[in-house]
Amino acid sequence: MILLQLYLAFAKMGFFSIGGGYVMLSLIENEIINARGWLTSAEFVDILAISEMTPGPIAINSATFIGYRVAGVMGSIIATIGVITPSILLVLLAATLFKRFYQNSWVQAAFSGLRPAVIGLIAGAAIFITRTALIDLPSIIIALGAFLLLILTRLHPIAVLAFSALAGVICQYLF
């Protein structure tokens, strides 16, 4: 039963996460943490950190890790299949209809409404992660440092992650 619930939960998220994996974060928060209680907020943020560091889209990585956490290896397989099923179906449908209807004024109007909604969903996910991850002064300093390194330098994001991990280890011993 848990495998079916995992599949349906991630299929629903995959279907409604127009705009990419980051949009899905608020859906995951609502479905996995609030509605089902499969993870705590702290566990979810840890899974996001791992999902960001591993190759692949964050939505698929998150589904795989959450599925594993909830129901082991089969849970990771089922959750991953669940999250990609809607994408496969929608891409096949879109490929056949897109060229034919893209210039339609109704389709253009729908996309005009979806674009700002995607920004709102990403901002909501950012606020959720901020509330959960920035729990003390060292975490705030590390976050600001990582942000400044990314914005002000050409430092590769992997190097920023490595420096952040090192800062976390150092802070653990200092505070």
Q: Work out how many domains the chain is built from and give that number.
A: 2
Based on the domain organization, do 17 and 99 belong to the same domain?
Answer: yes
* For residues 149-162, average pLDDT: 91
Based on the domain organization, do 30 and 44 belong to the same domain?
Answer: yes
- pLDDT tens track for 75-130: 999 999 999 998 889 888 878 877 777 788 888 898 889 889 988 988 888 888 88
On whether the CB atoms of residues 58 and 51 are closer than 8 A, the answer is yes
Q: Does residue 99 or residue 150 have the better pLDDT?
A: 150
How far is Cα of residue 18 from the mean position of the Cα atoms in its chain? 12
Based on the domain organization, do 125 and 173 belong to the same domain?
Answer: no
Residue written as tokens 């490595």? Answer: 162
Based on the domain organization, do 39 and 121 belong to the same domain?
Answer: yes
pLDDT over threshold 70, residue 20 = no
* For residues 146-174, average pLDDT: 91
Based on the domain organization, do 83 and 156 belong to the same domain?
Answer: no
On whether the CB atoms of residues 79 and 64 are closer than 8 A, the answer is yes
Based on the domain organization, do 65 and 139 belong to the same domain?
Answer: no
Q: Where are the alpha helices (DSSP H) in the chain?
A: 2-16, 21-28, 41-53, 58-101, 105-133, 137-152, 157-174
Residue written as tokens 């002000």? Answer: 152
Based on the domain organization, do 14 and 44 belong to the same domain?
Answer: yes
Based on the domain organization, do 90 and 153 belong to the same domain?
Answer: no
**Listed range (20-29, 30-39, 101-110) with the worst mean pLDDT:** 20-29
Residue written as tokens 């669940």? Answer: 82
pLDDT band at 138, cuts 50/70/90? very high
Based on the domain organization, do 6 and 21 belong to the same domain?
Answer: yes
Q: Does residue 38 or residue 49 have the better pLDDT?
A: 38
Based on the domain organization, do 89 and 141 belong to the same domain?
Answer: no
Query: Which structural domain range is residue 166 located in?
Result: 135-175
pLDDT over threshold 80, residue 45 = yes
Structure tokens at 86: 């809607």
Based on the domain organization, do 121 and 37 belong to the same domain?
Answer: yes
